[in-house]
Amino acid sequence: MNEFLEPGSFVRHPERPDWGLGQVQSVIAARITVNFENAGKVVIDGSRILLTPDTGRQETHVNESHRSVKGR
């Protein structure tokens, strides 16, 4: 599943819910750099940890972006 992640995707770490929502900064092979709300920038070994996509946050982000463009 991590192979579908790309910069800008929102994710959660399944074993560290206290880290909060994270946004993928980069994906290089199995190394995924994520900026988490409560943990800052963390490099994840994607071959060991399966990050959980947060699709609800992505939809909200897309809708907010769309609203700001329409509001001009």
Instruction: Look over the chain and give the mean of its residue pLDDT values, rounded to a whole number.
Output: 85
For residue 47, give every residue at least 6 positions away whose Cβ sits within 8 Å of its Cβ, in sequence order, or none: 30
Residue 62: predicted pLDDT: 43
Residue 58: predicted pLDDT: 52
pTM of the model: 0.76
Q: Tens of pLDDT along 17-38?
A: 999 999 999 999 999 999 999 9
Q: Tell me how far apart the alpha carbons of residues 27 and 4 are, in angstroms, rounded to a whole number.
A: 10
For residues 30-50, average pLDDT? 97
> Which residue, among 26, 21, 29, 58, has the nearest Cα to 46 in the 3D structure?
29
Residue 63: predicted pLDDT: 44
